[in-house]
């Protein structure tokens, strides 16, 4: 903003002028009489008007910049999806696991914990007691339940998916057994909020399939340290499982290799 610079008034003042004849010490003749000087009136001081500030200028308002509209936000999906349309990662919450009571009761323990997730209370011991006893894991439990771990049928071993799903259904839990379950189907179940009981080797270790023929003549694949865990989550690099009272993560290769030993066997919620 500019400010006015007032002009200051200047006063003009004159003094009386009197001509005085200088006396000369000379021999010249006296100068004839000269009339006395007339008083010249002193001019009246005419005050110079004080300049009025005439530069009171109204500042020009610089217009505010116009708001540039922000680009419209593009709605993004809450969860990123992979090329197959499923979320890149997903975790099922609320699945609680407990330690198994016997050396070979992992299947009954997993079944009890899985049923509880769907609101059905049935104990590990009840489920274990309802498995038929047999030398074929496809039709019943190959025991006894406190046998040593890591053996193959007809030694103490465990049970496969069919008999476990049948007991769950008897207690009102919708359960379907399957072999050959794909990685896509696993992720599809998890991203739908459904944990999956899966058959692996040990604590998701590497293993080797072994062909076994029971006394009834049925041939199936078994593996040393057959075990069940509950799959509850996945991300781009691996899977999360509930293993009794433990929860841990395994890389995708480690999990899929262990899962494949017994033919990608699982129980899922239909």
Q: State pLDDT tens for residues 162-186.
A: 999 999 999 999 999 999 999 999 9
pLDDT of residue 80: 79
**Mean pLDDT in residue range 1-29:** 37
Q: How far apart are CA 164 and CA 130, in angstroms?
A: 9
Rounded mean pLDDT of 13-19?
A: 35
Total residues belonging to the chain = 270
Arithmetic mean of pLDDT, 197-215: 98
16 vs 244, residue with greater confidence: 244
- Percent of the chain past pLDDT 90, that is, above it, reads 69
User: pLDDT tens digits for 62-109?
Assistant: 444 444 443 443 333 446 787 889 999 999 999 999 999 999 999 999
Lowest mean pLDDT among 15-19, 196-200, 235-239: 15-19
pLDDT score of 228 more than 60: yes
Residue 79: what pLDDT?
Answer: 61
59 pLDDT band (50/70/90 cuts)?
Answer: very low
Confidence of residue 235 (pLDDT cuts 50, 70, 90): very high
Is 0.85 topped by the overall pTM? no
Looking at every residue in the chain, the average pLDDT score rounds to: 81
Q: Which domains does the chain have, with CATH numbers?
A: 90-268 (3.90.70.10)
Query: What is the arithmetic mean of pLDDT over 259-265?
Result: 98
């Amino acid at each position: 903003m500019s400010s006015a610079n007032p002009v200051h008034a200047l006063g003009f003042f004159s003094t009386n002028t009197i001509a005085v004849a200088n006396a000369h010490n000379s021999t010249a003749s006296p100068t004839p009489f000269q009339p006395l000087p007339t008083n010249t009136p002193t001019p009246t001081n005419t005050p110079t008007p004080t300049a009025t500030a005439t530069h009171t200028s109204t500042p020009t308002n610089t217009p505010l910049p116009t708001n540039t509209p922000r680009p419209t936000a593009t709605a993004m999906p809450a969860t990123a999806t992979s090329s197959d349309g499923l979320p890149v990662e997903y975790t099922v919450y609320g699945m609680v696991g407990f330690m198994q009571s016997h050396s070979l009761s992992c299947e009954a323990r997993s079944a009890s914990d899985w049923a509880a997730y769907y609101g059905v209370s049935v104990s590990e011991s009840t489920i274990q007691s309802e498995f038929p006893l047999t030398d074929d894991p496809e039709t019943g439990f190959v025991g006894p339940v406190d046998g040593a771990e890591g053996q193959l049928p007809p030694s103490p071993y465990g049970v496969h998916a069919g008999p476990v799903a049948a007991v769950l259904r008897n207690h009102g839990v919708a359960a379907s057994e399957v072999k050959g379950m794909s990685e896509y189907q696993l992720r599809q179940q998890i991203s739908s909020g459904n944990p999956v009981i899966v058959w692996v080797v040990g604590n998701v270790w590497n293993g080797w399939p072994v062909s076994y023929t029971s006394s009834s003549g049925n041939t199936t694949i078994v593996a040393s340290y057959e075990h069940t865990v509950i799959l509850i989550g996945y991300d781009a690099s691996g899977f999360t499982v509930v293993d009794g009272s433990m929860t841990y993560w395994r890389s995708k290769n480690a999990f899929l290799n262990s899962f494949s030993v017994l033919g990608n066997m699982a129980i899922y919620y239909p």
